[in-house]
């Protein structure tokens, strides 16, 4: 089985675990008055789990294109070609996501999100910092404004030492 199918199989398994948590473990602690709402806190995770399982199964069961005799498929993901992929870049991005989650409270939403977007884009190859930094700042401020002011959910904008 090709590497992309193995990844799809692991993805389907993770989505099944996520879906089990969303369908069976998230809603039992809701107060009775909230149990009558049409949209629960688990609604979006349920939708994500269903779509994730669907996409994973689609990748898993899609038939590979036919090959001519003796020709190798250049686009197929295999373990033999694992060195050609940007694994270091992917691991660095995952590490950056973990650092973002850990620095969100101490640095505040605005600074940590601007840093995450800027460093992440630079890690993926963007070099026009004169465009990147203002776009990250405007997007971050816009999201903070919508969450804080429009939705009324407190989101610490500045570092905790201020």
| pLDDT reported for residue 77 | 63
Q: Model-level pTM?
A: 0.60
- Residue tagged 């804080």 (tokens): 148
For residue 153, the enclosing domain spans 86-162
Q: How many helices (H) and strands (E) does the chain have?
A: 5, 0
Q: Residues 30, 74: one domain?
A: yes
pLDDT tens-digit profile of 8-53? 899 999 999 999 988 888 777 777 777 777 877 778 889 999 999 9
Question: pLDDT below 70 — which residues of the chain?
Answer: 1, 64-82, 160-162
Q: How many domains does the chain have?
A: 2
CA dist 49 → 6, 10, 30 (Å) = 18, 13, 21
Q: Residues 19, 71: one domain?
A: yes
SS3 for 80? helix
Going by the DSSP 8-state scheme, the letter that residue 27 receives in this structure is: S
DSSP per position, 91-129: HHHHHHHHHHHHHHHHH-HHHHHHHHHHHHHHHTT---H
Q: What are phi and psi of 93, to 5 degrees?
A: -70, -40
Which of 43, 64, 84 represents a domain boundary (last residue)? 84
Which of 52, 84, 116 represents a domain boundary (last residue)? 84
Report yes or no: 55 and 4 within 8 Å, Cβ to Cβ. Answer: no
Which of 35, 56, 84 represents a domain boundary (last residue)? 84
| pLDDT reported for residue 76 | 65
């Amino acid at each position: 089985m090709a590497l992309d199918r193995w990844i799809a199989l692991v993805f389907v398994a993770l989505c099944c675990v996520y879906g089990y948590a969303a369908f069976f473990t998230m809603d039992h602690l809701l107060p009775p008055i909230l149990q009558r709402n049409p949209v629960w806190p688990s609604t979006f995770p349920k939708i994500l789990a269903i779509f994730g399982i669907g996409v994973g199964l689609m990748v898993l069961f899609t038939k590979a294109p036919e090959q001519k005799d003796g020709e190798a498929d250049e686009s197929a993901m295999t373990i033999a070609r694992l060195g050609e992929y940007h694994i270091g870049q992917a691991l660095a991005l995952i590490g950056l996501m973990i650092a973002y989650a850990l620095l969100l409270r101490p640095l505040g939403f605005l600074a940590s999100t601007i840093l995450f977007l800027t460093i992440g884009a630079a890690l993926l190859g963007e070099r026009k910092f004169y465009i990147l930094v203002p776009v990250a700042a405007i997007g971050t401020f816009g999201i903070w404004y919508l969450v804080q002011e429009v939705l009324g959910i407190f989101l610490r904008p500045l570092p905790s030492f201020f």
